[in-house]
A and B are shown apart, each in its own frame.
Chain A
Amino acid sequence: MNCEQYQELISAFLDNDLDESAFINVQSHLAVCAHCAKMCEDCAMILDLCSEDLLQDSLPPNSKALWCRINNIIENQVKAELAQPETAPNKTKQGWLSQVWNNSWRFSLSQVLTSILGIALISSLLTIIGFKNYSASADNVAVNASSSVFEKVLSKIGIAETTQEKRERYIKQQQATIDYWKKRVEVRRANWDNHLRDAFDRNLNEINQVVVEYDKILQENPQDEISNDMLDSAMTEKVELLREFSEL
């Protein structure tokens, strides 16, 4: 038998699975062949290690030590709870909202008084603004009808456009429209006969008188609802007159 054949039998030799003659035969070869003997040693070491791991895994945990550790943990927790003040247990029972309340909403007397004064001041200001707007709107229902209370408050503060500013803007727009149609009429006017020209001038003059009349009233009393309405109406009529005559 050569070394290769002996090496194949090493495993069975270590496990003691060989018959007596084969066992003696391998044993005598290992005694003379250093290479195969070394290999046999290595295999034996591997087998030893494996048998050690298996032994460790199969060992039950140290139950005594484990229970000891658990007891220690529980005892520590109980001791810590007993050491805390009486309010502390409530903290754990109450929700986060009440925790925030307890922590953040504790005011001093001066803070409370300042808050009350602040609320009173803001509500009085709002009431004054409300009253002013109400009394103004009693005379000027139509003009203010479109603006909400919120808009009024904003305009009082200066964030939004006031009713007066809105009106001025509207009048400017109307005036621009009138100027445009006036130019158109000037171009077309040369084609009109005298009769048409006279009628146009007469009617435009009538409307202009109305505009001047209400403009004057509104300079004295800008909040006069009826005069505002009449001025709007007259300006619309003027635009209509100019537009329709410019089509001739």
Chain B
Amino acid sequence: MNLKLKVLFNFFADKKTTILLLSVVFFFVSAAPPDVFAQKKFSRSYPASKNVSLKLTNRSGTVTVEGWERDEVRISASMEAPAANMTPQNLSGTIYINLVKDNQGRKEVGYVNFRINVPYNSSVNIETMMGNLNVSNVRGALVRAHITSEGDITLTNISAGAVSAENVIGDIFFDGDIQSDGTYRFTSTRGSINIRIPFGSSFRLVATAPSTRRISLGPFSNQGLNFGDGRRVFGKVGGGSATLTVTNQRGSISFISR
């Protein structure tokens, strides 16, 4: 018995540094306020008409917007600590969420990751200061994704008359239809822009990638477009009724057939 106690004592004596450290960690973890590590959740649903508008302005975090067949808008957000203030508003058919305004002057605001479901025919206008923006399965009049600084933009299965995607550092991917008389604008400073559209699309193109001169037209390379000195490609593809403007200051532009 004495021997067993002695062995135990020796064991603790050998590991005392480790035990001391663990105790300190345990103390601080238990003493810390609960919201430091907690992730706050937010969820709300709004009944909406089929062509509702969503106007979201985030500070930082990922925003994912997806079209669904229900006539309601569901907003789910997970907010990292320190949790952001959020007061969504539903004003005459448009749902507004502005986290920049709601948290103006606050020193620290944690990431807010949104997951939003909207009716298929909704207009989506989302902005963020930094973070990724994803929009899929939307067929409304407008799809706009704007990142003030850095983050990737992914627009999948989009069928809208006006599409705009803009960031400074990050990739842009568009996969959707080009509607006749539509306006499509993709702008980045550094990253790659990839556009996946049906082969039979008809549009007026101005694609500019002056630094890299990497403009790959893929299925549209034999459409008699004007390449100039390689920095800018312009011309008409098909009837040319839609306008497609792609600008990448220090990155590449690629077209892929859908």
Contacts and interface: CB of A to CB of B under 8 A. Distances in A.
Interface of A: 191-193, 195-196, 199-200, 202-203, 206-207, 209-210, 213, 226-227, 229-230, 233-234, 237, 240-241, 244-245, 247-248
Interface of B: 59-60, 100, 104-108, 129-130, 148-150, 168-169, 187, 189-190, 208, 210-211, 231-232, 247, 249-250
A237 B168 contact: yes
A241 B168 contact: yes
A247 B187 CA distance: 23
A227 B231 CA distance: 10
A199 B210 contact: no
A241 B208 CA distance: 21
A233 B129 CA distance: 19
B149 A226 contact: no
B189 A245 contact: no
A199 B107 contact: no
Given A226-B231, A245-B129, A233 B187 contact: yes
B189 A206 contact: yes
Contacts, number: 69
Contact of A230 (B105, B168, B169, B249): B249
17 contacts: A191-B106, A191-B107, A195-B60, A196-B60, A196-B129, A199-B129, A199-B130, A203-B189, A206-B189, A206-B250, A209-B250, A210-B189, A226-B232, A227-B210, A229-B208, A230-B249, A248-B104
Contact of A203 (B106, B169, B232, B247): B169
Nearest to B168: A203
A241 B250 CA distance: 17
Contacts of B106: 191
A213 B106 CA distance: 36
Given A196-B60, A244-B129, A245-B148, A233 B249 contact: yes
A43 B249 CA distance: 124
B232 A244 contact: no
Contacts of B169: 202-203, 206
Given A207-B189, A248-B100, A241 B211 contact: no
A237 B232 CA distance: 20
A244 B98 CA distance: 13
